[in-house]
């Protein structure tokens, strides 16, 4: 990872922040994107102010396009783009508002679409470049009470895997992590709730394990377009609680 320049969407999220810290320790140069300026400033301070960051609300198209234009000014090429941003709205159909529906797609699908499309010229300049997107088991398994979330994740999976076919003979390489439940604040349960359930036997991934695995996948030249990481609750997990 040394001297590689990588953009990370959702850089201050539960998984994103741990990936950022790991890549920092690996010597990567990072461009951090998140909607919270306070969290971005705090994170970058922890990392000795080594990296560039941009505040961006992925539900706001003007902000998205502005941040992309700022990143493109460097014109030095990019080694990678990691799409780790996401929103999980878990509601029954009668409870889903217009904003719930639109924001689910703007964050989970629109953010990756705009950043991939517009940063592709920079990524194509760099040999061995990659785009890695964190999807969800909810993009493969229908779940009651999660219509907005599942719909957006099904759409994201279709988009990324179609793009992998489109660019299969060139760089950047395209990868999708279809990820199962992880111990973060994502969705409708807190870290504390998930940790308690985990200790009682509920299948969750520890966030550090996920971040370590993602960086391992980035380094693996033989990685597949879709890597499925499901804990045991799905019946064919790749990780078991020690």
Gap between the Cα atoms of 192 and 194, Å rounded: 6
Please give the structure tokens belonging to residue 214: 């993602």
Helices within 73-190 (DSSP H only): 98-105, 111-124, 147-166
* 133 bridge partner residues: 83, 176
- Per-residue pLDDT of 165-221, as tens digits, reads 999 989 999 999 998 776 656 666 676 766 676 667 676 778 888 888 888 888 887
Greatest alpha-carbon span in the chain: 50
The answer to whether residues 4 and 172 touch, using CB atoms and an 8 Å cutoff, is: no
Please give the structure tokens belonging to residue 213: 């695995």
Backbone angles phi, psi at 186, to 5 degrees: -65, 140
DSSP assigned state of 140: T
Helices and strands, number each (H, E), in the chain? 8, 7
Domains of the chain, with CATH numbers? Answer: 5-232 (3.40.50.720)
- Per-residue pLDDT of 21-33, as tens digits, reads 999 999 999 999 9
Q: Average pLDDT over the chain, rounded to whole?
A: 88
pLDDT the model gives residue 179: 84
Cα 41 to the center of its chain, rounded Å = 20
Average pLDDT per 10 consecutive residues for the chain, totaling 242 residues:
91 93 95 97 96 97 97 86 94 96 97 97 93 92 93 97 94 91 65 68 78 87 84 46 38
pLDDT the model gives residue 176: 95
């Amino acid at each position: 990872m040394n001297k590689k320049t990588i953009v990370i969407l959702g850089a201050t999220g539960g998984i994103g922040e741990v990936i950022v810290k790991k890549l920092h320790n690996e010597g990567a140069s990072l461009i951090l994107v998140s909607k919270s300026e306070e969290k971005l400033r705090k994170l970058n301070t922890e990392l000795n102010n080594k990296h560039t960051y941009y505040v961006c609300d992925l539900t706001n198209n003007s902000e998205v396009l502005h941040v992309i234009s700022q990143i493109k000014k460097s014109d030095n090429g990019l080694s990678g783009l990691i799409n780790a941003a996401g929103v999980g709205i878990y509601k029954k159909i009668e409870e889903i508002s217009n904003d719930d529906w639109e924001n689910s797609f703007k964050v989970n699908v629109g953010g990756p679409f705009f950043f991939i499309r517009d940063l592709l010229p920079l990524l194509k300049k760099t040999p061995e470049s990659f785009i890695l997107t964190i999807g969800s088991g909810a993009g493969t398994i229908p779940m009651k009470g999660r219509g907005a979330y599942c719909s957006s994740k099904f759409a994201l999976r279709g988009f990324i895997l179609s793009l992998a076919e489109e660019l299969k003979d060139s760089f950047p390489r395209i990868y999708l992590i279809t990820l199962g439940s992880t111990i973060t604040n994502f969705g409708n349960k807190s870290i504390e709730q998930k940790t308690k359930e985990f200790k009682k036997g509920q299948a969750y991934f520890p966030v550090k394990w996920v971040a370590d695995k993602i960086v391992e996948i980035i380094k693996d030249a033989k990685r597949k377009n879709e890597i499925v990481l499901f804990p045991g609750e799905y019946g064919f997990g790749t990780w078991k609680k020690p």
